[in-house]
Chain A
Amino acid sequence: MFKNILVANRGEIALRVIRAAKELGVRTTAVYSEADVDSMHVHLADDAICIGPAKSADSYLNMQAILSAAEIANVDAIHPGYGFLSENPRFAELCESCNVKFIGPSARVIALMGDKNQARATATKYGVPVTPGSEGIVETEAEALKVAEQIGYPVMIKATAGGGGRGMRPALNKASFVTAFHAARTEAQACFGCPDVYIERLVQNPHHVEFQIVADSHGNVKELGERDCSMQRRNQKIIEETPSPLLTSGLRQRMAEASESLVRNIGYENCGTIEYLVDDQENFYFMEMNTRIQVEHPITEEVRGCDLIKEQIRIASGEPLSDHVVYSQPRGHSIECRINAEDPYNNFAPSPGKINLFYAPGGRGVRVDTHVYSGYEVPPNYDSMIAKLIVTGATREIAIARMLRSLREFVIGGIKTTIPFQVSILENSAFRNGDYNIGWVETFLASHPSPPELPYFMRED
C-alpha cells in the first residue's frame, strides 16, 4: 500500500480522495492554488503545498508544479481526480518516469481511448456497436458531404480531440451541413488545438446511459451496472440515477457484456466508464470512454455497497479487486443532484461569493459530498459545482421522495444555487415516469418554469 498520495485536484473530489486515503491509513498531500487556500481539502490533508496562482493553467494543470510538489513531499502515488490532468496521457507518462504511481490506467490506454475517433474504431474492433459514422477523420468539405449522405441525416460533427460534451455541432439536413462542418472545425481548433472532426449519425431522442467498470492488474474485470445521465443542460449532467428507468434486463445484459469485453480487450486497469447513447428502440451505441473516476460515481457506490476511490487506490498499489466488489449485487435505487453555484432563473449565471449559512440535509439514505462550509468563499475561477447530494432508497419512488425532502432541507445561504431548479425537475411527471432524454431539460427550460415554493429559510430576503 502507498505511504503518501498526492491529490492533483481540488474541491469535492480532492476531499473525496483524501477521505478514502485516510481510511486506508495512507498519508495525504494536497496541492492548491492561491484561490483555494481555505478549501476543505487543504485543511484536511496531512500536508498541503501551494503550487501556483488561481488560474488553472498555472496551477491544477501545471504538470511541472505538481510533479515538483510530489518530489518535495516524497509521495509514491498521485490521484488525478476527474477533469484537469486525469485523462492526460503525457501527465500519466511523466508520473511513471518520476517513479510515482498514477492512480488510473496506463498512459497507453488513456491515449487510446482519449482520441474519440480512434476510440470508436477500437469499440467497433471489439464488437461494441457504434453509431453509423465516418471511418475516421473527415478532412475536406467534399468528403464530409459524401460521408454524411452515406450515414444519413441528421448527423453530428464531432471534434476528435474533444470531450465532456464540447466541440460538437449537429447538422439536421444537407442544407445546413456545410456551415456546421466548418463551424465545428473552427471551434475544435479553438478549444482543443486540433480541428480534426469525424461524423456520426445523430441518434434521435437519445438517452445517455453509462456503465461503470473496474479492473485490476491481475486480469480481473467487473462491471458495476449503469447510470442514467440523460438529465443534461448544454451537455452538462445535472441529475443522475441508477438503475436507469429505461433499460430492460435484456438490454442491460447486452450492454454490460459489451462493456466488460471492451475493457478486457484493451488491457484496461483501474476504474473507468463507458458512455452510450440509447434510442427508444433498445439500440445502444458506444459514444466514448472516460478513463478516470466520474463525478457521479457515488450512486454506483450506494447501490453496490463499495468505495470506488479506495478500490482505485488498492488496484493501483497492486491488490486484486476486493471480494465485496467482485460479488456485489445491486440493491435499491440511488439519485444524485449536482448542486452548482448558479442562478437557474437568470440563465444559470455563475454565483460565486461567500456562503454565510450552510446546512446539509441528513437522515436515512442521504449523502452529501462537498468541500464547502459556512463562511467559505466560492471562488470564481473554477467550475461551479459546489456539492453533490446523493440519496438512496429501496425503490425509485422512495428515492425520489427522499431527494425532494433533502433538497428542500438543504440551505446554502449567500449565493444562488441550482437547488430550486432541481426540485422542479424532481416534481415533474416526466421525471417521475422515467420519461426523459437528453433534450428534456432544454425543452423544460424553454417553457420558463417558475421557481417552486420553498421553505421560509430558503427564500431570498
Chain B
Amino acid sequence: MDFREIKRIVELMDQHGLSVFKLEQGETKLELKKGGDLDVKAIQNWMSSAPAPQYAPAYAQVPAPAGGAPAAAAVEAGLPTNVKEVTSPMVGTFYTASSPDSEPFVKVGTKVNADSTVCIIEAMKVMNEIKSEISGEIVELLVENGTAVQYGEPLFRVKTA
C-alpha cells in the first residue's frame, strides 16, 4: 500500500460521501475516518493553498511522501529490530522478475545475501538489477509488479538473523 493508493482512497471517500473506510490486507491495516480528529477535506484544501505552519511538522513525519497525499492514514509503523527494509536506489518502474514469463527473483521466505538480485527497476528503458544489500530472509513484498517507485521507497522487508 503506498501513498498514491491511500490518496486515491481518500478521493473516493470524498466523492462518495463516505466517512469511514477500513481495510485489512495481510499484515497491513488501514483505517481512515472523516471528521473527528483530522479533517481530510481541510488537509486536502491546505495542500493546494497557502502554507499553514502548524501542519508542516505533521507532514514531515510521513515517510517518502508523494506530494498531495494526506497524513490521515493510521498505517502501521515501527519494525522489529531484526527486520530491515530494502529501499529503491533509483526512480523507475519496479518489476519482480526479469521478464513477464520468468519466475520472480524472490518470494516471501526466499533467503538472500547482500549480492542477491531482488528485483528489476527500469529507468529510461534500461533494466537495472537491484541487489538486496541485506542478508536474511524476505518477509514481505511491499510494492506490486509494474508500479512506479521513487528514490528511497521501501521495496522489501528482510528478516536478518
Q: Does B64 touch A at the CB level, under 8 Å?
A: yes
Q: Which of B100-155 contact A (CB under 8 A)?
A: 123-124, 148, 150-153
Query: Contacting chain B: which of A46-54, A113-121, A331-339, A401-409?
Result: A46-54
By the criterion CB–CB under 8 Å, are A65 and B67 in contact? Answer: no
Q: Which residues from A are CB-within-8-Å of B98?
A: none
By the criterion CB–CB under 8 Å, are A51 and B65 in contact? Answer: no
By the criterion CB–CB under 8 Å, are A374 and B151 in contact? Answer: no
Binary per-residue interface labels of chain A (23-48) against chain B in the complex, 1 for a CB within 8 Å, 0 otherwise: 00000001000100110101111111
Give the distance to chain B from A32, nearest Cβ to Cβ, in Å. Answer: 9
By the criterion CB–CB under 8 Å, are A34 and B148 in contact? Answer: no
In whole angstroms, how far apart are the Cα atoms of A46 and B48 in the complex?
8
Q: Does B91 touch A at the CB level, under 8 Å?
A: yes
Q: Which of A50-83 contact B (CB under 8 A)?
A: 50-53, 59, 64-65, 67-69, 71-73
By the criterion CB–CB under 8 Å, are A38 and B152 in contact? Answer: no
Q: Does B13 touch A at the CB level, under 8 Å?
A: no
Q: Does B90 touch A at the CB level, under 8 Å?
A: yes
Binary per-residue interface labels of chain A (347-383) against chain B in the complex, 1 for a CB within 8 Å, 0 otherwise: 0000000000010000000000000011110000000
By the criterion CB–CB under 8 Å, are A64 and B124 in contact? Answer: yes
By the criterion CB–CB under 8 Å, are A72 and B53 in contact? Answer: no
B56 partner, pick from A52, A65, A376, beta carbons under 8 A: A376
Which of B47, B60, B66 is packed against the most chain A CB atoms within 10 Å? Answer: B66
By the criterion CB–CB under 8 Å, are B92 and A72 in contact? Answer: yes
By the criterion CB–CB under 8 Å, are B150 and A51 in contact? Answer: yes
Q: Which residues from A are CB-within-8-Å of B59?
A: 38, 43
Q: Does A98 touch B at the CB level, under 8 Å?
A: yes
Q: Which residues from B are CB-within-8-Å of A44?
A: 47-48, 67
Q: Which residues from B are CB-within-8-Å of A376?
A: 56
In whole angstroms, how far apart are the Cα atoms of A395 and B26 in the complex?
69
Q: Which residues from B are CB-within-8-Å of A46?
A: 67-68
In whole angstroms, how far apart are the Cα atoms of A64 and B153 in the complex?
17
Given A50-B153, A64-B123, A64-B124: A37 in contact with B65 (beta carbons within 8 A): yes
By the criterion CB–CB under 8 Å, are A48 and B67 in contact? Answer: yes
By the criterion CB–CB under 8 Å, are B124 and A373 in contact? Answer: no
In whole angstroms, how far apart are the Cα atoms of A40 and B91 in the complex?
21
Q: Does B51 touch A at the CB level, under 8 Å?
A: yes
Q: Which residues from A are CB-within-8-Å of B124?
A: 64, 67-68, 71, 98
Q: Which residues from A are CB-within-8-Å of B151?
A: 34, 49-53, 59, 65
By the criterion CB–CB under 8 Å, are B91 and A43 in contact? Answer: no
Q: Does B44 touch A at the CB level, under 8 Å?
A: no
Q: Which residues from B are CB-within-8-Å of A375?
A: 53, 56-57
Give the distance to chain A from B133, nearest Cβ to Cβ, in Å. Answer: 15
By the criterion CB–CB under 8 Å, are A49 and B150 in contact? Answer: yes
By the criterion CB–CB under 8 Å, are B47 and A69 in contact? Answer: no
Residue of B whose beta carbon sits closest to that of A69: B91
Which of B60, B64, B90, B150 is packed against the most chain A CB atoms within 10 Å? Answer: B150
By the criterion CB–CB under 8 Å, are A49 and B65 in contact? Answer: no
By the criterion CB–CB under 8 Å, are A43 and B67 in contact? Answer: yes
By the criterion CB–CB under 8 Å, are A68 and B123 in contact? Answer: yes
Q: Does B160 touch A at the CB level, under 8 Å?
A: no
Q: Which residues from A are CB-within-8-Å of B150?
A: 49-51, 69
Residue of B whose beta carbon sits closest to that of A48: B67
Q: Which residues from B are CB-within-8-Å of A73?
A: 148
Q: Which residues from A are CB-within-8-Å of B153?
A: 50
Residue of A whose beta carbon sits closest to that of B121: A68
B92 partner, pick from A43, A68, A98, A374, beta carbons under 8 A: A68
A37 partner, pick from B48, B53, B60, B148, beta carbons under 8 A: B60
In whole angstroms, how far apart are the Cα atoms of A42 and B53 in the complex?
15
In whole angstroms, how far apart are the Cα atoms of A241 and B150 in the complex?
41
Give the distance to chain A from B160, nearest Cβ to Cβ, in Å. Answer: 23
Residue of A whose beta carbon sits closest to that of B4: A47
Give the distance to chain A from B35, nearest Cβ to Cβ, in Å. Answer: 23
Q: Which residues from B are CB-within-8-Å of A68?
A: 90-92, 123-124
Given A49-B150, A50-B151, A373-B53: A42 in contact with B91 (beta carbons within 8 A): no
Give the distance to chain A from B3, nearest Cβ to Cβ, in Å. Answer: 10
- Listed in ascending order, the chain B residues whose CB lies under 8 Å from chain A are 47-48, 51, 53, 56-57, 59-60, 64-68, 90-93, 123-124, 148, 150-153
Other A-B contacts than A48-B67, A51-B91, A375-B57, 17 sampled, CB-CB below 8 A, are A37-B60, A40-B51, A43-B47, A44-B48, A47-B66, A47-B67, A49-B66, A52-B151, A59-B151, A64-B123, A65-B90, A65-B151, A67-B124, A69-B91, A72-B148, A373-B51, A373-B53
Pairs across A and B, CB under 8 Å, 12 listed: A47-B67, A48-B68, A49-B91, A50-B91, A50-B153, A53-B152, A59-B151, A65-B123, A65-B151, A72-B93, A358-B53, A376-B56
- Listed in ascending order, the chain A residues whose CB lies under 8 Å from chain B are 30, 34, 37-38, 40, 42-53, 59, 64-65, 67-69, 71-73, 98, 358, 373-376
